Structure formats: C-alpha cells, structure tokens
Amino acid sequence: MSKLELLEEHVVFDGTQYKYRHDSHTLGCPMTFSLFLPNKEKFSNPPLFWWLSGLTCTDDNFTQKSGAQKAAARLGVAMIMPDTSPRGEHVADSEDWDLGQGAGFYLNATEQPWEPHYKMYDYITKELSAIAHDQFQLTGPEFISGHSMGGHGALVVGLRNAERFHSISAFAPIVNPSQVPWGIKAFNAYLGSDKEKWREWDAAELLKNYTGKKIPVLIDQGDADSFYEKQLQPSKLAAVAEEKNYPLTVRMQKGHDHSYYTIASFIEEHLEFHLSQLANNQ
C-alpha cells in the first residue's frame, strides 16, 4: 500500500475535506485525490460516494465548486474524488485538450504510448478502492457519480461492478462514446481501431447486452448544454434502458448548461437519491 502525503485539510460544515498525494503503482506516477469525511462521532461507518470529474478537470473541481460538503455532512456521506488521468513529464500527453492528461476516460488503455500509464479503471476500482478501504476504513455501501467524461466513467464503472455499487448517477454524461466525436477520438487513441474493444467501455453498448444486477441510475441533463446534441445524447441510453426494462431516470433541467452551476444545483438531490436506493434495498 502506497504512503499517503496529506496536502490539505479543511474543516467544512460538520466534516473535514482532505487532499492527498501518493505514488500510484497502477499508473506509474504520483496521483492526487480528495476525500471528504463527515463527523466521525456521528457517522462511524459512512457510505462512500465516488465522484468522477470530466475533461480538463482535476479532483479540485468538484471539491471547490459543487458545494456538496454541506449535504454530505448532513446526510453522513463520505466522498472520494480521484483525478481524471495520470500526470507527469514522463506520462504521454497530447496538445489537444480532449486527449491525454486530464482526459483519461476511466478505461485501461491498450495502445502505445498510452498503455503504460492510462489505466484509470484499474486505478479506481482496485488501487484507490484499497486505499479507501484499508487506510480510511471506508467499508460501508458505495455509490458512484460523475460529470461529462466522468459521467461516462460512472456509468461504465457502475455497470461493470453492479454487485459493488448500490446506485449510479451522472450529470451530462457521455452515454455512447463509440458514436460521438469525443469518444471516437479517445477510443481510437487508447484502445486502437478494433471497435469491438470499444463496447466494454461504452455504457449504451454495455446496457444492450446487460444481464447483471439492475442498479438504479439517475441522470440530470441541462437543455442549454452546448454539448448535449453532438456529444452527450442521453436519449440513446434511455432508449436502451426502456427496451431492457432497466431502472433509468433522465431528468431534463430547463435552462441549465454544462457547468458546475448545474452540479451545484442538484448534487444534494443526487446524494439523497443514492441514500434512498440504499434504504430501499435494506
């Protein structure tokens, strides 16, 4: 288990916000992540909410812009926020803003020069999960959520680990990346030209052939989001869910865009959604 270096610690509402750095053996580079813990005296074994951020973001975006700590402190939810990709001078990168560092797409790359470091799926589901469990004793129920590219990540990670996560939510997710420009570009680079390999990293494709546990999904999508029609297209996932009788809710939010203002507006409802699904299963 890698040693953690505490970078920041802030008391916020009735909890504490932390930021850590560690040397990731999965990604082969130093990584940062943020962690919010509610009052330990009130919530000794809180459920854990995973947040996956979008293109160009780090773990700081959600921590500093969402305002989620207030609701998490009240509800007794721990939150963990990884970075969006490996980083460093020796880590492959691109001059394009939507590829490389800051654009890891939460998959395991198989192509060069990306394969040695771009294994965000394994990093989240194995290495960072072990840190949360072993070093912070976060052994309670888990939920997963994310925004845009991170919404794609939340859907894929959640569906591929349905026995682990009790529910999934997302804000403006990329639901069918193998059919939209952001995803096609990333998948070609990270996974190569064999489109059959792309299917396991595409939520719409995963759901078409899904036979696992049906865990509820909530999606919020702003109708003023400039990426809605070309890159996101939640109706594609909704159509598959309807055909499969899968418990998916897509809420169109009038006037809302792709920014963290939208996330801040509805994050409390997302946390409450996850806890309600947990209560329904008990």
Domain with residue 136: its CATH number is: 3.40.50.1820
Q: Which domain holds residue 268?
A: 5-281
Number of structural domains in the chain:
1
202 catalytic? Reply is no
258 catalytic? Reply is yes
Catalytic residue (one of 225, 256, 270, 274): 225
Residue 74 has pLDDT above 80, yes or no: yes
Residue 282 has pLDDT above 70, yes or no: no
**Could you tell me what percent of the chain has a pLDDT over 70?**
99
Q: How far apart are CA 106 and CA 152, in angstroms?
A: 8
State residue 16 phi and psi, 5-degree precision.
-135, 135
Nearest to 274 by CA among 21, 72, 81: 72
Catalytic residue (one of 117, 147, 256, 258): 258
Residue 104 Cα to chain centre, angstroms: 11
Pairing of strands 165-171, 217-222: parallel
Count of CB atoms situated within 10 Å of the CB of 112? 9
225 catalytic? Reply is yes
Q: How far apart are CA 207 and CA 220, in angstroms?
A: 18
Q: What is the pLDDT of residue 211?
A: 92
pTM: 0.97
Catalytic residue (one of 148, 167, 169, 178): 148
